Structure formats: structure tokens, C-alpha cells
Amino acid sequence: MNIQVLGAHNCESQNSKFISLLIDDALAIDAGGLTSSLSFPAQQKLKAILLTHHHYDHIRDVPAIAMNLFLRSTAINIYSTQSVYDAITNHLLNGKLYPDFLKRPQDNPTIKFTIVRPHQTEQIEGYSILAVPVNHTDLTVGYQVTSPEGKTIFYTSDTGPDLTECWKYISPQLLIIEVTASNKYEEFARESGHLTPSLLKQELTSFREIKGYLPRVIAVHMDPSLEKEIETEISAVAQTLNNPITLAYEGMQLEL
Ligand SMILES: [Zn+2]
Ligand SMILES: [Zn+2]
């Protein structure tokens, strides 16, 4: 399994992109920095997009990819919970802000949308996909993705503390988890459903207690203005837990 980090951050600038991951060139998870990271031919190779929740930094490129694929007579499958579907169809692809690509072109619409339900394994493009609720906004889900060869990753999406329940459902070899803010912003992180390095440490400790191991950990969704602090604090956590934790960056490639 090849995992490419297209966007690794929660804010966009010339040097940082909204969150988006790409698996084996075929499966994208979240669409923050999707079109801005991929050539048109690479966009046409996409088979499916999994969306975790409706926040703008996670769905921003859905209209853009839909237009690109529409113009190239290609279709794509999008999977999400009902609330993400409602947000996209009511506010983005509503025929006003942008065309309704769920209905256009009439004979073969560009977007084929499927609603996923938590804790139900779906077969998507040869991968086993399990959506697991995390603690963020409405119903936000993380996705466990298992390849045909049995390689497994879990991406938490945005989440606040207390993932004890979530950990029970997953057994990844690679954990991609959000760490948005540095330790001094713990109160903000708790209120807005995000993690800091010290909150990450608690979550990883509970993972190890429940699962009996720790996978390799990749941190994503960092606030670029806090990234230096986050990096320093995370390396201390990695040392204490004696487990590799790496900050993701745009263009990072991971092999499993
Ligand atoms: Zn969010
Ligand atoms: Zn976010």
C-alpha cells in the first residue's frame, strides 16, 4: 500500500495545503488539497473519495474535482455520512454555487454518492473500509482502510480526546492522527475537538492499553503557525512512549 500525503495541514498557503490523503493513486480520503496536488491525468485515475466530515478544509476540492471529471466524461464515487452528503448537496453542488454533478450529465452523473454507516465494513474498489466515529463535530468518522494484501491504516480525521471506544474497532499498522495545536492551546483543542501533543500522548497510551501494541504514528492537520512547537513537543512524546511519531508534510510518501 502506498500512501501519499497530498495536504497535511488545517490552513492553506503557498507552503501548506488542506488535508487530503491518496492511497495507491486510486482512493482519496478527504478532499482539502486534492485537485491542487494532482495533475488532470492523476485526477482521472481516482476511483473513490472518502469524506470524514463536512468542514471546509476537508471537502473544499469536491466541486473542483467534479468539474474537472465532468469535462473529461469521467465519473467518481464519493462516500460519506449523511451529514456530509447534506452539506455538499445543499451548499456546494446545489445548482447555484456550482452545478449539481450528482445529476449531471443525466445519463451518467459525474458523482455517484454512497452513504456510509459507522461500524459497517464496506468493500470499496477492492479495499475493506470501516468508518469509526471520533469526537469532533456532528458525526465525524475516521476510516480504517485494509488493502487486498491485508495492509491496514487508520486515519482519525479531526478529533478531540477520548478515543477509547474508537480504538476497540481498529487494528492498524499505521495510524494517521490529527495534532492541530501545541500544548499551550489545550483548552482550545478540547473545546473545538482537536488534539495537542500531550493529548495525543494520552490517546496513544490508551491505545496501547487496549490493543497491546502501538503502530507507527503520523501526525497531520497541524496549524502551520504552531508547527515548530508541535514538532518539539511530539518528539518528546515519541521518546516517552518509545514509538516513532512523525509529522506529515505535503508530498510525503509512506509504504506499507
Ligand atoms: Zn473539522
Ligand atoms: Zn479540519
211 Cα to the center of ligand 2, angstroms: 27
| Pairing between β-strand 122-124 and β-strand 127-133 as defined by DSSP bridges | antiparallel
Q: What is the pLDDT of residue 21?
A: 98
Overall pTM > 0.95: yes
**Alpha-carbon torsion angle 130, 235, 5, 49, nearest 10:** 20
Among 192, 174, 172, 217, smallest CA distance to 57 is for 192
Ligand 1 centroid from CA 234, angstroms: 21
Most distant CA atoms of the chain, gap in Å: 57
Question: Cα of 149 to ligand 1 centre, how many Å?
Answer: 31
Q: What is the pLDDT of residues 217-240, one digit of tens each?
A: 999 999 999 999 999 999 999 999
> Please, which residues have CB within 8 angstroms of residue 21's CB and are 6 or more apart in sequence?
3, 4, 5, 6, 28, 29, 30, 155, 176, 220
C-alpha 155 – ligand 1 centre gap (Å): 13
Cα–Cα dist 224/8, whole Å = 10
pLDDT tens-digit map of 23-54: 999 999 999 999 999 999 999 999 999 999 99
Measure 96 CA to ligand 2 centroid, in angstroms.
25
Spacing, Cα 176 to ligand 1 middle (Å): 15
**84 CA from centroid of ligand 1 (Å):** 12
Query: For 51-104, how does the pLDDT look when each residue is reduced to its tens digit (9 = 90+)?
Result: 999 999 999 999 999 999 999 999 999 999 999 999 999 999 999 999 999 999
The Å distance, Cα 158 to ligand 2 centre, comes to 6
Ligand 1 center to 192 CA (angstroms): 9
Nearest ligand atom owner, CA of 136: 1
